[in-house]
Structure 1
Amino acid sequence: MTSPARAAAAACLVLALLAASGCTSRPQGGAPTSQAPTLGPSPAAEVGTRWRAGSATGTLASGLDAPWSVVPLPNGGALISQRGDGTVLELTAHGDLRLAGTIPGVVSGGESGLHGLALREAGETTLLYAYFGAAEDNRVVRMPLQGEAGAYALGPAEVVVEGIPRASTHDGGRLAFGPDGYLYVTTGDAQRSDAAQDPDALGGKILRVTPDGDPAPGNPWGNAVYSMGHRNVQGIAWTSDGTLWASEFGQNTWDELNRIDAGANYGWPVVEGVGGRAEFVDPVVTWATSEASPSGIAAYGDTVFVAGLRGERLWQIDTRDGEAVGSPVAALDRAHGRLRDVIALPDASLWVLTGNTDGRGTPREGDDLLLRIPLTPAT
């Protein structure tokens, strides 16, 4: 995996180059789609620090079509996934947007398609992991990045995890390598809510696997499942104290931010929101579904940032010892429409993907953007 020093240097380099170039170009050679990852604890943010988002200071990319996630590249630039067409776009360190490749086997429909991305360095090779909806299931594949920065291409795909249930909704889809080096995979219940309470089923779970897709050592049920009782998790991130957080779409009433512990049961479909039952873990924060519909999340220091789709805002939650401190604070309130993903960079900034297109080239409120948002210490 990328070392903290290398990741920090790469992120700072790409931000400086992108800010200088003011990129707003469209991809060459193909229509955009969607992709995604979430970073672990930022090496530049200390435990006990809390942060607030400012206003957008730059548009790093525009002309995106239903982007789902963004991940910085180790040598500058970034990759962006697009949900509808299965494409992965490269944003170069000079601000150009180009087609890196198309994930084979993506079958989009409803909310399913190409979702999360994550990167891992294996020796001299950088591997790209991607979560997507195939014909019969959701799955995770990995492939080498071939070529040079600014001209990357996707190598042959190898299946890492398969058999995750898919449906037109509730498909989960976020990927992230944790501080322990294992791959975390969020899944939805795929409209089969009872599966969320079955520890042997992959739906309605957070999975924890090795880079090769095997169950990670120490998993609570001896399989790939790390936590259960989830409806549709689309965001995971670690605060600087090592706490794992996840965002979860509710059904009709409550969206959630949960602290994730190994072997914990978060109650779905028995409970939505706070249930107060000893056998289930209650969420740390809840929102009405009209205020959030949370997708990607990021953490910087001890603050968690939650990207809201229907809520059209970025929620900021300060934490301490796995609990919320004070009330959530909204930023970017309806300034850019629906927010799909957010990641934290070591230079005290966020990258935010908007989600205002439908993945079929039809805008809801114009095209989608990748924005840069500066962070300042909370007072």
Structure 2
Amino acid sequence: MSAGTRVHRRWALAVAAAGTALVAACSDGGMPPTYPPPGSPPPVSGTPVPGRSPAGSVPSGVPDLSAPETVATGLDVPWGLALLSDGSALVAERNSGRILQVRPGGGAPREVYRVPGVVHAGEGGLLGLAVAADHDRTGWVYAYFTAEHDNRIVRFRLGGTAAPEVIFQGIDKAGFHDGGRIAFGPDGMLYAGTGDAGDRPSAQDPDDPNGKILRLTPDGAPAPGNPGGKPVWSLGHRNVQGLAWSADGTMYAIEFGQNRFDEVNVIRPGANYGWPEVEGTSNDSRFVNPLVTWSTVEASPSGAAIAGDTLYVAALRGQRLWTVPLRGGPPGAELVGRYGRLRTVAVAPDGALWLTTSNRDGRGDPRPGDDRILRFPAR
């Protein structure tokens, strides 16, 4: 790809958008999960940050994975999921561009917004959703989606007629490795996980938004305290699909590997996680080793959420919910094969775990009644 065709990815365009305020892991493997991977340092705390998480604090309850409630069925590849203070949730349909509101206790999903300009192809489309901690006051909802020429982040208010405001753009798109997960951290900043869009060297280029975790203000500008004053928080990622924070402010990210290892990483500002030089662990001191690795057949990890001292990771190809004890110990596997491919996991303030399936995305045989949203109450 020539430099001219990649100009739109540089920071000049991305920051201009803010200023106006406007194939995944697919190979077979058979290796058991590794915790910690050989040569990895023991888990350490990340950089605690002031403020609060979107839920106010990390829920301390333990979800009861034996007694789910089916909140909604018949959805079209639900991808992003954002929990609201009234107990309901917003869900993004990747292919249609619709945002639906769903509630526990039944009732048909209700369309509350349709993001204009969504282009679905391969893994692209309407992807991550997020609401800030002050959503009840401001009404802002954020979405990451694939447009005609790029991946971008917009914000809007439900029920409004105004066009969404583009707050960040110029993230290269592709039929795969589009990233897409966004979340507000406990510092009130917006974090976005991007993919390398099939261009591996971009992950190591500090002036390229692809293959990164970005940290932005709610208006889309580089957040205060970012390394070098740029949007990049960390680099060397292949395809970030999940973001989560523990009670002490430690940040975790989940990403697809290539042929061997999927990863859980502890994220530190300015750190380099090795892609494409490294997949999984290495002895190269330039790169941070993952906290946990799985073989790609067991994982293809997507959403991530934390309740108490446990990180929950939804697995697509692995068709299971991984549990990672953050105080040490090996990961466990729950719900293996019970609901098919699992895309997104979120934990509500009441400790309930919400889970979306992804059985109608062309990666396997559709299951009758899917895709669906499940809710597992706290014990």
- Match in the other structure for 1:87: 98
**Which among 260, 263, 268 is matched to residue 270 of structure 2?**
263
Q: What's the CA shift for 1:125? A: 2.9
Task: Go from structure 1 to structure 2 and tell me whether the alpha carbon gap of 1:235 and 1:163 turns closer, same or farther (over 3 Å shift).
Answer: same
Trace 1:177-188 onto structure 2 (pairs within 5 A). Answer: 177-188=184-195
Contact kept in structure 2, 1:295 and 1:340, CA below 8 Å: yes
Q: Secondary structure at the match of 1:368?
A: coil
RMSD between aligned alpha carbons? 2.0
Q: Within 2, Cα distance between the matches of 1:90 and 1:235?
A: 21
- Match in the other structure for 1:239: 246
Contact kept in structure 1, 2:280 and 2:290, CA below 8 Å: yes
**Which among 127, 138, 142 is matched to residue 125 of structure 1?**
138
Contact kept in structure 2, 1:79 and 1:91, CA below 8 Å: yes
- Match in the other structure for 2:4: none
Contact kept in structure 1, 2:59 and 2:347, CA below 8 Å: no
Q: What's the CA shift for 1:75? A: 2.9
- Match in the other structure for 1:45: 59
Task: Go from structure 1 to structure 2 and tell me whether the alpha carbon gap of 1:124 and 1:372 turns closer, same or farther (over 3 Å shift).
Answer: closer
Q: What's the CA shift for 1:345? A: 1.5
Q: Within 2, Cα distance between the matches of 1:165 and 1:122?
A: 29
- Match in the other structure for 2:111: 99
Structure 2: any 5+ residue segments left out of the alignment?
1-52
Check if 1:288 corresponds to 2:295.
yes
Percentage identity across aligned positions? 52
Q: What's the CA shift for 1:72? A: 1.6
Q: What's the CA shift for 1:122? A: 5.9
Q: Within 2, Cα distance between the matches of 1:282 and 1:188?
A: 18
Q: Secondary structure at the match of 2:95?
A: coil
Q: Secondary structure at the match of 1:290?
A: helix
Q: Which has the higher contact order (CA 8 A, sep 6+)?
A: 2
Q: What's the CA shift for 1:155? A: 4.3
Q: Within 2, Cα distance between the matches of 1:246 and 1:41?
A: 18
Contact kept in structure 2, 1:240 and 1:300, CA below 8 Å: no
Check if 1:74 corresponds to 2:76.
no
Q: Secondary structure at the match of 1:221?
A: helix
1:263-295, Cα deviation, whole Å (9 max, x unpaired): 000000000001121000000000000000000
1:9-38, Cα deviation, whole Å (9 max, x unpaired): xxxxxxxxxxxxxxxxxxxxxxxxxxxxxx
Q: Structure 1-normalised TM-score?
A: 0.81
Give the letter aligned to residue 86 of structure 2: N
Trace 1:1-379 onto structure 2 (pairs within 5 A). Answer: 43=57, 45-46=59-60, 51=62, 53-92=64-103, 95-120=107-132, 121=134, 124-146=137-159, 155-320=162-327, 325-358=328-361, 364-366=366-368, 367-376=370-379
Q: Within 1, Cα distance between the matches of 2:240 and 2:296?
A: 14
Contact kept in structure 1, 2:214 and 2:233, CA below 8 Å: yes
Contact kept in structure 2, 1:81 and 1:115, CA below 8 Å: yes
Q: Within 2, Cα distance between the matches of 1:215 and 1:44?
A: 26
More strand per residue: 1 or 2?
1
Structure 1: any 5+ residue segments left out of the alignment?
1-38, 147-152
Q: Structure 2-normalised TM-score?
A: 0.81
Contact kept in structure 1, 2:227 and 2:270, CA below 8 Å: yes
